Amino acid sequence: MAIEHFMCPRNIGNMVNADGEGTFGDPECGDSLTVFIKAENNIIKEISYLVFGCPGSVATSSMTSVLAKGKTLEEAQKITEEDVIEALGGLPEHKRHCSLLGVQALRKAIDDYNIKSKNININK
């Protein structure tokens, strides 16, 4: 599944007029990711991302977007690195840190959305 998400990433691309945007980088490997969301009635209706990094970063970013789309903001905020790795069918140990990118950038995008919509309820 990880190779499939690397070769054919889902929801990739920039988003104009995003409701929330979050960026996270991993100093360990130099990868970075920006997640964009559009929400309606507290549900993530659209999600996209721009990723710079290794195949593991591309695959985990893609899977994070798949897991978050259609979820409430609260449900998406609870997605963990382990959820992403499990949904991909596992990752080599030396690539497990890549799953952190998507999860952290998603949480930052949700935080940004909450601030912009004055629905400030930031979970750290």
Is the dihedral angle over the CA atoms 49, 13, 62, 3 positive or is it negative?
negative
Strands laid side by side in the 31-40 sheet = 20-26, 31-40, 43-52
Q: Would you say residue 60 lies in a domain?
A: yes
pLDDT at 30: 83
Name the catalytic one among 12, 29, 43, 54.
29
Q: Would you say residue 50 lies in a domain?
A: yes
Q: Would you say residue 123 lies in a domain?
A: no
Residues whose CB is less than 8 angstroms from the CB of residue 100 and which lie 6 or more positions away in sequence, other chains included: 24, 26, 81
Backbone angles phi, psi at 114, to 5 degrees: -60, -40
Q: Which domain holds residue 81?
A: 2-116
- Counting Cα atoms < 13 Å in the Cβ hemisphere of 55 gives 12
Catalytic site includes residue 29: yes
pLDDT in tens, 13-71: 999 999 999 999 976 678 899 999 999 999 999 999 999 988 889 999 999 999 999 99
Q: Would you say residue 124 lies in a domain?
A: no
Q: Would you say residue 122 lies in a domain?
A: no
Q: Would you say residue 36 lies in a domain?
A: yes
Whether the pLDDT of residue 75 is over 70: the answer is yes
Q: Would you say residue 44 lies in a domain?
A: yes
Count of structural domains within the chain: 1
Name the catalytic one among 58, 98, 101, 103.
98
